[in-house]
Amino acid sequence: MREVAAVGFGMHPWGKFEDKSVTELCRHAVEASLQDAGVQWRDVEAVAAASSRFSGGKGWGLNGNDVVEDMGSTGVPVYNLSAGCSAGANAFNIGYTLVASGAHDMVMVVGGEKMPKGFIQTSGVEEHTDPEFLRQRCIGMPGPAFWAVLCRRRMHEHGTTEEQMAKVAVKARKNGALNPNARYRKETNVEEVLKSALVVYPLHLFEICAVSDGAAAVVLCSAEKAKQLTTKPVWVGGSAVATARFDDGITRGIGGMVPPGITHHSEAKAAVAKAMSQAGVGPKDLSLVELQDNTVYYELAFPEEWGLCEPGQAEWLLEHDETTPTGKLPINPSGGFISFGEATTAQGLFQICELGWQLRGEAGARQVPNAKVGMSQTIGLGGNATAVVLKN
């Protein structure tokens, strides 16, 4: 397998854009990534796209084809990927594989989404064999209620307080205020978070990500091409995809006792471990982490589940500002999902763009000092998960 470089990063800011189609959002991101890489659309040899679940174009998950027709029908192969919230980084994995295998020298990876209002409906049909449909219809547990149960479990096991969970949101919004691509760019405080509408105890409105519109794109190429384009390429150290295990803590019952070593998101733990192994790095080598914080719980739980810190230590790191951009373990310097909101299929790519800008020292006021290695992670419907490690 060949070395693969990420040489172009582009993003359309997250928000709600009633006057723009998802294809327009993607065009903005694609053109920005091409300009960043210093290449033209005609130089792209293949497209790997995260398929739009909720919006736009032809439907049928043909987001990549819509992008190609919009940018110019050059005859390139298109690979449309569907993996829920993991679709963006899943498409990245395909783009990485196409270059690493030698099949193509330059690949465009793109994802964009326009989200409907309200709770995300995980199933488009009333399918009684779909556990997600049954969870929402029979148990009455949409995403926020599920996350609240996880929070209550952590409060019971580690003594986590409502104030500590609120501080995660405060930190996220502080980082987001420094990011021109974030939807929410106003700082908040613990009192405001706890006074925001109670969605389902103990989670308040400011502690849950909104639904947003957005798009992001990344240009990948071979090492030979990268040397022609830039003197500071960002290298793909690892790119992994995984799915949940049969003994996952969620399938075993989040309300019951889970055996030691079994996590509530086994797919995330497996993807992270594989990506770090591919990259030849360990937890202490990571300069920053962009993780999927649909809610504040994940920023506390995931680092412990992946071995980035000891069980029960996440709150200590938070209280001592060690998860800020200048701390020992910077988490979501972008502002994360809390500041962006969720444009499902584009999420993994906005994280990768943030890693790229951080590693090139281009993140402005939210810059992690001397960033060398960054990791991103997503989880998606169907027990999908991804992790990506980038190096400079």
What is the per-residue pLDDT for 55? 66
Same domain, 335 and 189: yes
Q: What is the CATH number of the domain that holds 10?
A: 3.40.47.10
Averaged pLDDT of the chain: 92
What is the per-residue pLDDT for 252? 47
Q: Domain for residue 36, yes or no?
A: yes
Same domain, 21 and 84: yes
Query: Is the preceding omega at residue 202 within 30 degrees of 0, hence cis?
Result: yes
Same domain, 91 and 12: yes
Same domain, 295 and 355: yes
Same domain, 63 and 98: yes
Q: Domain for residue 134, yes or no?
A: no
Q: Domain for residue 269, yes or no?
A: yes
Q: Is 218 helix (H, G, I), strand (E, B) or coil?
A: strand
Phi/psi at 386 (5° precision): -140, 160
Same domain, 203 and 165: yes
Q: Domain for residue 131, yes or no?
A: no
Q: What does the alpha-carbon distance between residue 254 and residue 244 come to, in Å, rounded to a whole number?
A: 14
Q: Answer for the pair 165, 297: CB distance below 8 angstroms, yes or no.
A: yes
Q: Which residues contact 110 (CB under 8 A, 6 or more apart)?
A: 26, 29, 30, 33, 47, 48, 49, 50, 63, 64, 67, 91, 215, 216, 217, 218, 349
Q: What does the alpha-carbon distance between residue 303 and residue 280 come to, in Å, rounded to a whole number?
A: 18
Structural domain boundaries, residue 94: 4-118+213-235
- Both tokens of 392, joined, read 């400079």
Better-scored residue on pLDDT, 343 or 56: 343
Q: Domain for residue 241, yes or no?
A: yes
Q: What does the alpha-carbon distance between residue 129 and residue 126 come to, in Å, rounded to a whole number?
A: 9
Same domain, 196 and 332: yes
Q: Answer for the pair 238, 277: CB distance below 8 angstroms, yes or no.
A: yes
Q: Answer for the pair 55, 246: CB distance below 8 angstroms, yes or no.
A: no
Q: Domain for residue 132, yes or no?
A: no
Same domain, 39 and 187: no
Q: Could you give the number of structural domains in the chain? A: 2
> What's the residue count for the chain?
392
Same domain, 219 and 248: no
Same domain, 57 and 167: no
Q: Domain for residue 153, yes or no?
A: yes
Same domain, 14 and 158: no
Q: Is the pTM of this model over 0.85?
A: yes
**Amino acid at the residue 23:** T
The mean pLDDT of 64-85, rounded to a whole number, is: 95
Instruction: Render pLDDT for 92-118 as a digit per residue (tens, 0 to 9).
Output: 999 999 999 999 999 999 999 998 877
- Both tokens of 348, joined, read 């993994």
Instruction: Render pLDDT for 141-195 as a digit per residue (tens, 0 to 9).
Output: 778 888 999 999 899 989 999 999 999 999 999 999 999 999 999 999 999 999 9
Q: Domain for residue 124, yes or no?
A: no
Which of 65, 38, 33, 34 is closest to 49 using CA atoms?
A: 65
Same domain, 12 and 35: yes
Q: What is the DSSP string of 91-113?
A: HHHHHHHHHHTTS-SEEEEEEEE
**Cα dist. 311→249, 251, 256, 319 in Å?**
16, 21, 18, 15
